Structure 1
Amino acid sequence: MSAALPPGTAAPWQPAGTVYGVLLNFEHEHTLWRPRMLEAPYQAPPQAPVLYIKTANTWNPDGGQVTVPADAPGVEAGATLGLVRDAQGQWAAALLNDFSLPHDSYFRPPVKYRCRDGFLGTPAALRPLGSLAELATLSLSVHVNGELRQSVDLGRLRRDAATLWADVNDFMTLRPGDVLMLGCDVAADGGRPLLRPGDTVELSAPGFAPLRHHLSAEEARA
């Protein structure tokens, strides 16, 4: 049973629906991996957004712990924003950390790399939006132990927030409460900030409260 919240403290936000991630939605990421898109079995770049799901066991509120498996070199940070639309059509955004284990598959990443317990850092609250156009000028910062390790420019999305939402809804219906993440950019080598036990990672963006998580080592099995 979880501990009771102090009087007057609001419960942290959690997704009310399904959380969808998207791959290859940054210009650099797409360019870097384009040669592999031309290989079998696909032999062409994807025409529609490439989606995956972050299951409910991954949700990890601000200030939580993320476990690094003993057989993994570390955990990658994935700074992103999630779009949320309510039943009244109002937009909001969530600052999210889409943690994953390093892997070498972009089209069909195995669930075990992305859906481990605690592998989606979620904020205490959403930020209401007047329109999705507000997001185009935002930059997300990733600090590890206080050091800036990555800046993510949302102006370099292949599909901006409004286009991505529309293109996904062309083939499936996003319901009120569902979360659609915009994607996670990569460094020049194709990787993302690698986190190890003992690290603290903080995401920040203008208008959003910082999102922090601490990395710990997996306990040895008896």
Structure 2
Amino acid sequence: MKRGRVAYAGAIHEATPDGDRVRLADGRVRDEHEVVWLPPFEPGTIFALGLNYAEHAKELQFSKQEEPLVFLKGPGGVIGHRGDTRRPADVTFMHYECELAVVIGRVARNVKRADAMQYVAGYTIANDYAIRDYLENYYRPNLRVKNRDGGTVLGPWLVDAADVADVGSLELRTWVNGELKQRGNTRDLVTGIPELIEYLSGFMTLAPGDVILTGTPEGVVNVNAGDEVACEIDGLGRLVNTIASDADFARG
């Protein structure tokens, strides 16, 4: 099942897809542009994987690390489908990162990889923007790179884990203004989902609503104000958002 959350007519509604439209829990059907999209669930702690596709690490001239490269993100940086992400005027290289997002469904502590998938509630698409100008180094992706307001887009749907037949073979694609720029497959993850859950739950407790962003494949390019970026993952949908300028956000 695919489930989402939208704001419409002064209230927040659970929503499901209805062809190219959106069906609210009360039965009303609306066009995508008539509603304000929220993240499809209330995110808890967000664990973001860096350089978890070998070709992307090679693209950035970075060798494989001994342990997963993980950092935390606050839920305040998350926005929904069709939201705007600000590109500060002083930066030279800001790029998208299309990622499979894994949503934890129950408390996980010291989970073994053989049991790890039992703790997954579902999956959604993430577009986790990065500003390379602000990067100190790959071991320290500082706050300005990865914890920006509106810098992480989630949605449009949370898809139940049982409805994804083979999460280890999903194609990811990113389009910028209708042009295909990025393509990869989850079969190429350096550290897979069961291993990530085992690793993280081995030293901290994972809670329902926590999210693991599993990394992005090669093919990241700079984006500018006005660009429309669309991320697709097989079976999960199409996540669209727009890059906005400082002026759009009334910031100088």
User: What's the TM-score, normalizing by structure 2?
Assistant: 0.74
- For residue 80 of structure 1, report the CA deviation from its aligned partner: 0.2
- Determine helix, strand or coil for the equivalent of 1:164: helix
Partner of 1:199: 227
- Determine helix, strand or coil for the equivalent of 2:130: coil
Partner of 1:77: 96
Match of 1:63 among 82, 96, 102: 82
Partner of 1:181: 213
- For residue 4 of structure 1, report the CA deviation from its aligned partner: 1.6
Matches of 2:230 and 2:73 in 1, distance apart? 20
8 Å CA contact retained: 1:79, 1:152: no
- Determine helix, strand or coil for the equivalent of 1:201: strand
Q: Deviations over 1:40-62 (max 9, x none)?
A: xxxxx643222112212211110
Q: Which amino acid aligns with 1:47?
A: E
Partner of 1:159: 191
Q: Deviations over 1:94-126 (max 9, x none)?
A: 111011112452110111011111000011321
Report the RMSD for the aligned CA atoms in angstroms: 2.5
Tell me if 1:213 matches 2:219: no
Partner of 1:102: 132
Match of 1:171 among 197, 200, 203: 203
Q: Percent identity?
A: 24
Distance 1:68 1:74, change over 3 A: farther
* Count of matched residue positions in the alignment of Structure 1 and Structure 2: 207
- For residue 9 of structure 1, report the CA deviation from its aligned partner: 2.8
Distance 1:204 1:131, change over 3 A: closer
- Determine helix, strand or coil for the equivalent of 2:55: helix
- Determine helix, strand or coil for the equivalent of 1:123: strand
8 Å CA contact retained: 1:76, 1:195: yes
User: What's the TM-score, normalizing by structure 1?
Assistant: 0.83
Which 5+ residue runs of structure 1 have no aligned equivalent?
35-44
Mean Cα deviation higher: 97-106 or 201-210: 97-106
Q: Deviations over 1:2-52 (max 9, x none)?
A: 862488636741333111101121122344302xxxxxxxxxx64322211
Greater strand content: 2
Which 5+ residue runs of structure 2 have no aligned equivalent?
1-6, 14-22, 26-36, 108-118
